[in-house]
């Protein structure tokens, strides 16, 4: 087997692996195999824009938290911690802040990655387009 044949065999294996990733598992229904799309590879619906986020019915406390997270992202380029949100609200209870953030996540206004600090962010902020955000404010 020469080098070209080895290369073609390698590319064929990679193509099969890619197709398994895209199509996921094969389900046998009534003796007939059926391929099912891998849901992780399906394009997700687009996130709400800033204007659409403002149109969602929120309580006063939820609006305060949303505006704080939004301004924090615009100013520093990272998300605030739960303690920073709690301090901004003038509250001493982290639990109520967690509830408010959780409700905003369920409404589809904020996103958060489980187990990560400073991962709270508005849904319209895309990590690929962070250059569109304002430049960080320099303190004198």
What is the CATH classification number for the domain harbouring 91?
1.10.10.10
Split at pLDDT 50, 70, 90, the class of 23 is low
Inside any domain, residue 114 = yes
**Are 59 and 119 found together in one domain?**
yes
pTM given for the model = 0.59
**Are 30 and 83 found together in one domain?**
no
Q: Which helix (H) or strand (E) holds 106?
A: helix 94-107
How do the residues of the chain divide into helix, strand and coil, expressed in percent and rounded to 5? 55, 10, 40
Split at pLDDT 50, 70, 90, the class of 9 is confident
- CA torsion through residues 63, 65, 70, 75, sign: positive
**Are 80 and 127 found together in one domain?**
yes
**Are 82 and 101 found together in one domain?**
yes
Split at pLDDT 50, 70, 90, the class of 36 is low
**Are 90 and 118 found together in one domain?**
yes
**Are 76 and 105 found together in one domain?**
yes
pLDDT in tens, 61-97: 999 999 999 999 889 888 899 999 999 999 888 999 9
Domain containing residue 108 = 50-132
């Amino acid at each position: 087997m020469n080098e070209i044949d080895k290369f073609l065999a390698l590319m064929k294996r990679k193509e099969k692996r890619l197709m398994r990733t895209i199509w996921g598992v094969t389900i046998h229904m009534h003796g007939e195999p059926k391929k099912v799309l891998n849901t992780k590879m399906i394009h997700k619906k687009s996130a709400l824009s800033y204007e659409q986020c403002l149109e969602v019915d929120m309580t006063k406390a939820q609006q305060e938290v949303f505006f704080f997270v939004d301004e924090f992202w615009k100013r520093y380029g990272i998300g605030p911690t739960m303690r920073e949100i709690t301090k901004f609200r003038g509250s001493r209870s982290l639990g109520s802040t967690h509830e408010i953030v959780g409700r905003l996540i369920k409404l589809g206004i904020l996103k958060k990655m489980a187990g990560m600090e400073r991962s709270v962010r508005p849904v319209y902020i895309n990590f690929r387009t962070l250059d569109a955000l304002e430049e960080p404010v320099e303190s004198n």
